Chains A and B, each alone.
Chain A
Amino acid sequence: MPHPDEPAKPITEAHAVAGASEDLQLAEACRSGNAAAYEKLYQAHGPRLKSIALNLLGNRTDAEDAVQEVFLKVYRGIGSFRGQSSFSTWIYRILLNSCYDMRRRKLRRQETPEPVREGEGETPLEIPGPVHDHPMRLVLETCVAQLKQNQREVFLLFEVEGFRHSEIAGMLNISETSSKNILYQAKRQLRRLLTESGKQT
Chain B
Amino acid sequence: MKAMNCSDLEHVLRDAQPEELRALERHAETCARCAEELRAWNELCVAARAMHKEWASPHLWPQIQQALAAESQVARARPRTRSVAHLWANAWRQWQVAVAVLALAVVSVSGAWLLLRHPEPPVTSTPEAQRRLLTEQAIHQAEQAEAAYVASIEKLSALAQPKLENPATPLLASYREKLLLLDAAIAECRAQTDHNRGNRQLQDALLSMYQEKQRTLQEVVREAD
* Chain A residues within 8 Å of B, Cβ to Cβ: 4-5, 7-8, 11, 33, 35, 38-39, 42, 46-48, 50-51, 54-55, 60, 64, 67-68, 71-72, 75-76, 118, 125-127, 129-137, 140-141, 144, 155-156, 159-162, 180-181, 184, 187, 190-191, 194, 200-201
Whether B61 and A4, one on each chain, are in contact in the complex, defined by CB atoms closer than 8 angstroms, is yes
B193 to chain A, nearest CB (A): 48
Whether B52 and A71, one on each chain, are in contact in the complex, defined by CB atoms closer than 8 angstroms, is no
Whether B51 and A68, one on each chain, are in contact in the complex, defined by CB atoms closer than 8 angstroms, is no
CB interface residues, B 39-56, toward A, < 8 Å: 40-41, 43-56
Whether B64 and A42, one on each chain, are in contact in the complex, defined by CB atoms closer than 8 angstroms, is yes
Whether A134 and B63, one on each chain, are in contact in the complex, defined by CB atoms closer than 8 angstroms, is no
B65 to chain A, nearest CB (A): 7
Whether B49 and A160, one on each chain, are in contact in the complex, defined by CB atoms closer than 8 angstroms, is yes
**Contact pick for A67, options B13, B40, B50, B64, CB 8 Å:** B64
Residues of chain B at interface, number, CB under 8 A: 31
* Chain B residues within 8 Å of A, Cβ to Cβ: 10, 13-15, 40-41, 43-58, 60-61, 63-65, 67-68, 71-72
The 9 A-B pairs at the shortest CB distance, nearest first, are namely A159-B48, A129-B54, A134-B50, A136-B47, A4-B61, A184-B14, A137-B50, A134-B47, A160-B51
Whether A191 and B44, one on each chain, are in contact in the complex, defined by CB atoms closer than 8 angstroms, is yes
Choose among A60, A126, A134 the residue with the greatest number of B CB atoms under 10 Å from its CB. A134
